[in-house]
A = this chain, B = another copy of it.
Amino acid sequence: MIEVFKTYLKGKGNYTEEELEKVASVAVIKKVRKRQYLTQEGDVAKNHAFVTKGCLRTYTVDEKGIEHILNFAIENWWIGDRESIQTGHPSIYNIDAIEDSEVALISKEKFDRLCIEVPAFNDMINNILQKSFLVAQNRIHTFISLTAEEKYLSFLEKFSHLNMRVPQSMIASYLGITAETLSRVRKQIVKR
């Protein structure tokens, strides 16, 4: 499935054939079965991960045992706790697969070296970062200004593909509402 990664790279930056090989060659493919962890709370994250197949999520579990989902990642998305990778501090997040999945792992060291040695890679990563930031800003805005129903509608607009793949209870968690509330909200929407 390294081909998925290469295709992605081609679409995202101006790589020479040589650079492309260089980037792809440091990636290590790993299968992650449904419910299997990629990283657990307390671990120091060592790898950036690119999803070639399946779907994963980043989340925490609070004292009451409730899961709070921070992010999903499907094919052609990156996932990983940048904070932990960069600082070397233990991660506060869990990452696991919610479908049988496959990721391309790149170790921090190799990733950092790529950023230096392959300008196209560096630019690509910074572009992604920029985009991720804007998405995050936007999501913050939904939290401070929208009702449960509006949050869900906004989610549908932006991530309808996720809506079809991810259990409702997880979408609720991602939106910061309960599964019951989401169920009722959906009923309301359909009714109109």
Please, how many residues of chain A have a CB less than 8 angstroms from a CB on the other chain?
Answer: 27
From B68, B130, B145, give the contact of A144 (CB < 8 A): B68
Contacting residues, chain B, for A121 (C-beta < 8 A): none
CB under 8 Å from chain B, chain A span 75-92 = 82-83, 86
Interface-central residue, A70, A145, A173, A174, by most chain B CB under 10 Å: A145
Contact of B82 with A140 in the complex, beta carbons under 8 Å: no
In angstroms, how far is the closest chain B Cβ from the Cβ of A68?
4
Interface status of A157 (Cβ within 8 A of chain B): no
Contact of B144 with A174 in the complex, beta carbons under 8 Å: yes
Interface status of A126 (Cβ within 8 A of chain B): yes
Interface-central residue, A69, A134, A175, by most chain B CB under 10 Å: A134
Contact of B139 with A62 in the complex, beta carbons under 8 Å: no
Residue interface bits A118-148, CB-to-B below 8 A is 1, else 0? 0000000010011011101101110111000
Contacting residues, chain B, for A82 (C-beta < 8 A): 130, 133-134
A positions within 8 Å CB-CB of B: 60, 62, 66, 68-70, 82-83, 86, 126, 129-130, 132-134, 136-137, 139-141, 143-145, 173-176
A-B contacts, 13 of them at CB < 8 A, read A60-B141, A68-B141, A68-B145, A70-B137, A70-B140, A82-B130, A133-B133, A133-B136, A136-B137, A140-B140, A143-B176, A144-B174, A144-B176
